[in-house]
Amino acid sequence: MAALRVLVGVKRVIDFAVKVRVAPGGAGVQSQGVKHGLNPFCEIALEEAVRLREAGAAQEVIVVSLGTKASQETLRTALAMGADRAVLAEVAEGVTAGPKEVATALAGLVGRLQPQLVILGKQAIDDDCNQTGQLLAAMLDWPQGTFASRVELDSGSVRVQREVDGGLETLRLRLPAVLTADLRLNEPRYATLPNIMKAKKKPLEVIPAADLGVPGGSPRLKVLQVQEPPPRAGGEKVENVQDLLGKLRQSGRI
Amino acid sequence: MLRAAAAQRLRRAVSVLRRSQSTLVVAEHDNESLTPITLNAITAAKRLGGEVSCLVAGTSCDKVASELSKVQGVAKVLVAQHDVYKGFLAEELTPLIVETHKKFNYTHICAGASAFGKNLIPRVAGKLDVAPVSDIIEIKSPDTFVRTIYAGNIICTVQCDEAVKVFTVRGTSFEAAPVSGGSASVEKLTPPPPVGISEWIEQKLTKSDRPELTSAKVVVSGGRGLKSGENFKLLYDLADQLHAAVGASRAAVDAGFVPNDMQVGQTGKIVAPELYIAVGISGAIQHLAGMKDSKTIVAINKDPEAPIFQVADYGLVADLFQAVPEMTELLKKK
């Protein structure tokens, strides 16, 4: 059990507190000069992996990402949070990689690094896809424990509590398996300054994404247009509860 | 003249294309009844213009299959009943869907964008080696879909060039298909052999007499301003007067006031009721993503600067501990 190796996929995204805008020309969103960070769900995935290692249930935590050179910074943050080493599947600036390309790269890395467990976030807060973990599990023919809010490793299997629409459910998955982290799985730690310094010395390997089977051609999903949603018409303030109920009755809402 | 002829040719080509569409909707159910979001997914599927089939897989399917066969717009109901579908595991359902696709060769495969659909549909896409499209809010043509990104702050139109389009449908963006007037044929499928790499152990569902959150006409939601789980009773009392479902912000869930399945937002449920009443909720981007398509939004908050007032049609700057009980009392009188 102690020989378990965990792979954690992380994504560099625009910081969750930034109000995103469509870039001039409408081809995408403005990302130049905008604060980026680790996708919050990826932080939770990483925290869980580090906790498994600290509890002696896992031996090594490898953090991986598909992205441009800028993603090295994200991987360094992940190393500062406790990952042992990092691998960047690098793509050139301007290459669009969706969940399918990322899952392909991850499947390639699973082949090379031989983890028994892969933990991802349940979704990235930029594309809001919620697909990569499931795609990867399909490609590997591994079981999937999505939207996990509790993870317990057992000999040869993992018990996963999942957040589903009506409440919670529990599954047992045979290892190797893919998990995706939901918000309530844990509370990620902050990277401390000494750990940020230590992280600079940890190994970070760069592999061209093409070497992992990620196709370089035009993706089969094309973004035709991005736009901002129509703004809501400005509302009004009401004086008191009676006034509020009067307005709601008038507009037929109650 | 020339242009008119070209347009006519284009129309004909489009209509030929449409006739050859065929869509498989994976039905979500609990072995007793159909989950409402499936009806919204059927409406989306009908919009594609081709024949719509529904797949019911479960340990007990007869009731749901007969329910589905009456839904308007469904041509065929495919039924796979087997104990292996206990817990609706994606590992077991995926081979069934792939086999069914091989047999009938669909152009589109979809499900509602619920926890069930989000878990299953990308796995199916992975097995078919195609890129899926998540949580679509509009269908422009059989290969062009609209969806939101960045927590609903950006609307994105995508063209999918895959041989089979695999997608999930945002329930609140499509009307529910009528549950009568249909007369679909029902066909039994032979389930493929069990995969056996995952096992369903148990579930703990939150019990409630109130309407289901994602399909309720009125939603009353509470945030950090409620201060405790006990105080949510104020919202339950108000909700009872309005026949409303009760939701919550992430802050209220994280503080342990209410269970997580009540969370409305980017990482919780997306709702678009006729009336959304946000009580003690500041209106973070994350929360707005889950409710800003509501027809009328009411905000009750004592902070006049709270961002929720920027999207609220009616805003009341007041202490919720006074305003909410007063509202409940006034509603009781009429």
Residues in A touching B119 (Cβ below 8 Å)? 134, 144, 146-147
Q: Per residue of chain B (334 residues), what is the pLDDT tens digit?
A: 456 666 666 665 555 555 589 999 999 999 999 999 999 999 999 999 999 999 999 999 999 999 999 999 999 999 999 999 999 999 999 999 999 999 999 999 999 999 999 999 999 999 999 999 999 999 999 999 999 999 999 999 999 999 999 999 999 999 999 999 999 999 999 999 999 999 999 999 988 889 989 989 999 999 999 999 999 999 999 999 999 999 999 999 999 999 999 999 998 999 999 999 999 999 999 999 999 999 999 999 999 999 999 999 999 999 999 999 999 999 998 7
Sign of CA dihedral B188, B194, B199, B201: positive
Q: Are A39 and A121 in contact (CB under 8 A)?
A: yes
Q: Residue-wise over A204-239: b if at least 16 C-beta within 10 A, else e?
A: beebebeebebeeeebebeeeebeeeeeeeebeebe
> B126 vs A168: CB contact, 8 Å cut-off?
no
> A138 vs B126: CB contact, 8 Å cut-off?
yes
Q: Structural domain tally of chain A? A: 1
pLDDT at A94: 83
> A169 vs B87: CB contact, 8 Å cut-off?
yes
> B132 vs A135: CB contact, 8 Å cut-off?
yes
Residues in B touching A29 (Cβ below 8 Å)? 149-150, 154
Sign of CA dihedral A133, A134, A137, A139: negative
Minimal Cα distance from A174: which residue of B? Answer: B197
* Nearest-CA distance B197 → chain A (Å): 5
Residues in B touching A240 (Cβ below 8 Å)? 316, 318
Nearest to B242 among A147, A167, A254 (CB): A254
Which ipTM did the prediction report? 0.96
Whole-number Å distance between alpha carbons of B152 and B163: 28
What are the binding residues of B for FAD?
A: 224, 249-250, 263-267, 280-287, 301
* Nearest-CA distance B206 → chain A (Å): 5
Nearest to B134 among A41, A131, A163 (CB): A131
Nearest to B154 among A22, A174, A232 (CB): A22
Minimal Cα distance from A103: which residue of B? Answer: B126
Query: Domain with A134 in it: what CATH number?
Result: 3.40.50.620
Residues in B touching A248 (Cβ below 8 Å)? 275, 296, 298, 314
Q: Are B246 and B236 in contact (CB under 8 A)?
A: yes
> B323 vs A169: CB contact, 8 Å cut-off?
no
Element spanning B222, H or E: strand B218-222
Packed helices B115-128 and A132-140: angle between N→C axes, nearest 10 degrees: 50
Do you find a cis peptide bond into A203, omega within 30 degrees of 0?
A: no
Structure tokens given for A105 = 């790269």
How many beta-carbon contacts under 8 Å exist across A and B?
A: 250
* Nearest-CA distance A224 → chain B (Å): 5
* Nearest-CA distance A172 → chain B (Å): 5
Whole-number Å distance between alpha carbons of B38 and B19: 23
Element spanning B251, H or E: helix B250-254
Mean pLDDT, all residues of chain A: 94
> A253 vs B275: CB contact, 8 Å cut-off?
yes
User: Would you give the DSSP letter of residue A230?
Assistant: P
> B115 vs A163: CB contact, 8 Å cut-off?
yes
pLDDT at B17: 53
> A19 vs B197: CB contact, 8 Å cut-off?
no
Residue to mutate among B28, B123, B210, with most A CBs inside 10 A, is B123
Cα of first residue to Cα of last residue in chain A, in angstroms, is 59
For chain B, the helix, strand and coil percentages under 3-state DSSP, each to the nearest 5: 35, 30, 35
Whole-number Å distance between alpha carbons of B291 and B249: 10
Residues in A touching B253 (Cβ below 8 Å)? 184
> B118 vs A130: CB contact, 8 Å cut-off?
yes
Sign of CA dihedral A182, A183, A184, A187: positive
Residue A84: give the domain boundaries. 4-250
> B214 vs A223: CB contact, 8 Å cut-off?
no
> B203 vs A169: CB contact, 8 Å cut-off?
yes
* Nearest-CA distance A203 → chain B (Å): 31
pLDDT at A3: 76
Instruction: Using 50 as the pLDDT threshold, list the residues of chain A that sit under it.
Output: 1
